[in-house]
Structure 1
Amino acid sequence: MAERRAERIITALDIGSSKVCALIAKASDDGEIHVIGTGQRESRGVRRGYIADMDRTEVAIREAVEQAERIAGATIEEVWAGFSAGGLVSRVAQVEVELDGHRIEQGDIDDLLDAGRNSIDPEGRMVLHAQPTLYTLDDVRGVKKPLGLYADKLGVDIHVVAADASPVRNLDLAVRSAHLAVKAIVATPIATGLACLSDEERELGVALVELGAGVTNVSLFAGGMLVGLAAIPYGGQDITDDIASAFGTRRSQAERMKCFHGSATTSPRDNHDMIDVAPLAAGEEGAEVTRITRAQLIAVIRQRLDMLSGDIAAALKDLGFAGPVGRQVVLTGGGAELKGIADYVQGVLGRAVRIGRPRGLNGLPEAHGGPAFATLAGLARYAASNPTDLRAPNSGVAAPTRGSPPGLIGRLISAFRSGY
């Protein structure tokens, strides 16, 4: 009989401005990832990617994880959480050591990585990632496996991603307050890139635009790594708010109008298609449903998209995303589900644009297969990859500050307390 593949349980947690999602998966040694449970709750305590209400965020995290646990039939203790707020910076640190021409041994690589660890300067920020990428042998760059080769000098490029400390600690506290251990906090552009981009795209150069609810992250990949980051402090929720304000309706109704009738592109029949709009005071005496054309709705949506696409173009220019016309932009996030968004952005940027959807996971529910869940899938893929990290021991997230034990027992205690 064939030897059974070793499997381990991993849990991804995406805490966004509009939703909190959890995913439980089994990862095997051969790289297969099979989803066994998912959960989702509305996010009420996050604004622009930052924790603004700890209690509400804690409840949403706990409920999303518990839903995923019920589906998976498993109890989890730790999570890989995504961090999507602004303030992320990406740098490449280069370190080199002398070898005097001898054959490279594992000890030489270890010494090089130790030197790299000591050379990381976060400049007052918290380091989320410090990962060795490619090695250099003398003047030959891009070596992936230097072990056993001869060289006079051995160097390595270390990809460092850091963030403002306080928002990271708040995210860590929110997870731990839900009585879950934090395995790692991952910058969402790295996770989303794993889910949506091919190895060749990351190598040749590609821009990834995450159209989130409260923040739009623009990241640039080249040479196989993340090389630039920019954050735009608005997103899909702002389109929803524009619709609600323009037509005097509730946010929930505006969101429904955007999803079912909205579009980034126009057509001649938009002036003839009518949409019913429930007033803010729906149900009260005298409140009447008004009717608008689809063209009026699209005009409001495009006004915000014009601003957003202009900021995206400016961010790409600042990041140095120039060169051949064929270099591609990939749109993902909940905002990428708007009808016609790829064609619209392609017309504005003058570059090839496609929608990035999660891939590489078996058993992912169809409801979670769209661009809005790319970060969640990417977190699972990142966790399953067992990434090497050179962060210093004191560069991690904050320690727990509440006394309840982690895991299922802690959550039962919290639920008991909340009932009284």
Structure 2
Amino acid sequence: MAALGEAPIAALDIGSSKVSALVVQKDDDGAIKVLGSGQRESKGVKRGYITDMEISEVAVREAVDLAERMSGVTVDEVWAGFAAGGLVSDVANVEVELGGHPVEESDIAELLAAGRAAIDREGQVVLHAHPALYTIDGVQGVKNPRGLHAGRLGVDIHVIAADEAPLRNLDYVIRSAHLGVRAIVASTAASAEAVLTEDERDLGVALVELGADVTNVSLHAGGMLVGLRSIPLGARDVTEDIAMAFGVPRRDAERMKCFYGSAMQSPRDNHEMIDAQVGASGEPMRITRAQLVTVIRQRTEEICNEVDAALRSLGFSGPVGRQVVVTGGGAELKNVDDYMGGVLGRQVRVGRPRGLPGLPDALSGPASATLIGLALMAAKGDDGLHDIALKEAARTARSGGLLSRLIRALKEGY
């Protein structure tokens, strides 16, 4: 059995519906094993933004405490996910003169250094700055330019940025729970790490991260995340619709959605009855499954139409077989992949995170994609990351002055 020689790694996902923590460790062979996990209901987050510092801090402390007790280790710092709808993406192009000599490692370093001003976003923090395909003398689509002769060397850098204030709030909540922040990662990037295959990311795939309050739509091609849109709608809106339509408490509405809900109608739905309790008095009521599915379908259709519009704006077109992957807690709704496939006119599959030894069954579904992805990205270590901004954030966060150093590192250089 391989020795567990490396320090444990902690991932923290502060979502709109739950706060989840995961402690993993990588052995000498590079295999990742889950040591412990914890989860608590999230009440101080709305549409991905922190709205109540105190309540959020308590949820973070309790989730991490559960993970610590299960793993038997103390968590000092975390890789945290950021899922607010304010994420924006852009592509910056930079180019340097080489004079015709073969491309060396120093040339690539110079090129990326030249992108410092190009990735700067006024009033925002760059979370990810990921070099996409290179260009040699205007020829695009070069994956590895090393050793090739070139007069000019260029690269497209895909940038994901966020407003500074929500990041400060996230950082403050985590620090208030007596934890350090090793890096802050856009949730859609973490989810992609957990659920997309290498071929999908290379050939072209759209990832729909259907969260509680926010749906993030991202486009991946050439192994990179190349476009992002956020929709301020999610699975909790479906729950709210059920609660209002039938006058039931939110917890009962969530239960009805999970146990009886579906995105697709069935001939049996008119005959299957569901028991519910209405109002504070708990007056009994019976509805048909068809009534429930009708309410679910209305909001699901709206979300799918918004996803379709987002994909069109990102230029997601081409072969009919080009795939869409739906993940996040909303992907656990029965038949949501089939319904979305019908709206989009494309093949859609549910993205479940890859399994890890020791991972509890409760964390094996699409709702845990961001959490698992954070752990996988963290386990790569600084040298294994291709994301320049994230690598620099992880490196500088060790030396203290957390948020100010993080922001300065992401904005001033890599």
Decide: shared fold, TM above 0.5.
yes
Please provide the CA RMSD for this pair.
2.4
Question: Counterparts of 1:289 and 1:360 in 2: how far apart (Å)?
Answer: 42
Distance 2:340 2:310 in 1: 14
Q: Which runs of 5+ in 2 are unaligned?
A: 404-414
Given candidates 324, 328, 350, the residue that maps to 1:355 is 350
Query: How do 1:109-258 and structure 2 match up within 5 A?
Result: 109-258=108-257
The structure having more radius of gyration, on CA atoms, is 1
1:313 matches 2:312: no
Structure 1 equivalent of residue 17 of structure 2? 18
Contact 1:195 1:360 in 2 (8 A): no
Answer with 26-35 or 83-92: which moved more.
26-35
Shift of 1:329: 0.9
Count of residues in correspondence between the two structures? 396
Match of 2:376 in 1: 381
Question: Shift of the alpha carbon at 1:390?
Answer: 4.0
Higher mean displacement: 186-195 or 154-163 = 154-163
The Cα offsets for residues 116-166 of structure 1, whole Å up to 9 and x where unpaired, read as 224323133211111334333434544444444443333333221111121
1:5 to 1:141, Cα distance in 2 relative to 1, 3 A: farther
Q: Which shifted more, 391-400 or 71-80?
A: 391-400
Task: Report the TM-score when normalising by structure 2.
Answer: 0.89
Question: In the alignment, which residue of structure 1 is the partner of 2:289?
Answer: 294
Are 1:43 and 1:60, in contact at CA under 8 Å, matched by a contact in 2? yes
Letter in structure 2 aligned against 1:299: T
Superposition TM-score, scaled by structure 1 size: 0.88
| 1:408 counterpart residue number | none
Do the aligned partners of residues 315 and 65 (structure 1) sit closer, same or farther apart at CA in structure 2, a change above 3 Å counting? Answer: same
Comparing 146-155 with 294-303, greater Cα deviation is found at 146-155
Counterpart contact for 2:191–2:373, Cα < 8 Å: yes
Separation in 2, partners of 1:48, 1:278: 28
Which residue matches 1:337?
332
Q: Give the corresponding residue for 1:35.
A: 34
> Any idea what SS the aligned residue of 1:97 has?
strand
1:137 and 1:360 mapped to 2: Cα distance?
39
AA aligned opposite 2:214:
V
**1:281 equivalent in alignment to 2:280:** yes
Separation (CA, whole Å) in 2 of partners of 1:320 and 1:98: 31
Aligned-pair distance for 1:111?
2.0
Q: Matched residues in 1 for 2:182 and 2:188: separation?
A: 18
**Is residue 273–residue 287 contact of structure 2 (8 Å, CA) maintained in 1?**
yes
**Shift of residue 293 of structure 1?**
1.0
CA distance in 1, matches of 2:60, 2:306: 32
1 CA distance for matches of 2:321 and 2:105?
A: 41
C-alpha distance in 2, partners of 1:153/1:208?
34
Residue 256 and residue 5 in structure 1: after superposition, are their counterparts in 2 closer, same or farther (change >3 A)? closer
Where does residue 72 of structure 1 map in the other structure?
Answer: 71
Residue identity opposite 2:19 in structure 1: V
Secondary structure at the aligned position of 1:214 is classed as coil
Distance in 2 separating the partners of 1:239 and 1:3: 46
- CA distance in 1 between counterparts of 2:56 and 2:187 reads 18
Provide closer, same or farther for how the CA distance between residues 389 and 334 of structure 1 changes in structure 2, counting only shifts above 3 A.
closer
Measured in 2, the distance between the counterparts of 1:108 and 1:288 equals: 73
Q: 1:303 matched to which residue of 2?
A: 298
Q: Secondary structure at the match of 2:248?
A: coil
Tell me the CA shift for residue 68 of structure 1.
0.6
Q: Is the 8 A contact 1:173 1:400 kept in 2?
A: no
The 1:192/1:300 distance shift into structure 2, 3 A limit, reads: same
Distance in 2, Cα, partners of 1:3 & 1:229: 40
Q: Distance in 2 between matches of 1:253 and 1:136?
A: 55
Deviations 1:181-221 (Å, cap 9, x if unpaired)? 11111011111111111111111111111111111111111
2:316 and 2:308 mapped to 1: Cα distance? 9
Unaligned runs of 5+ in 1: 402-420
Q: Is the 8 A contact 1:80 1:383 kept in 2?
A: yes
Instruction: Decide which moves more: 43-52 or 100-109.
Output: 100-109
Matched position secondary structure for 1:119: coil
The 1:394–1:337 alpha-carbon spacing in structure 2 relative to 1, beyond 3 Å, is: closer
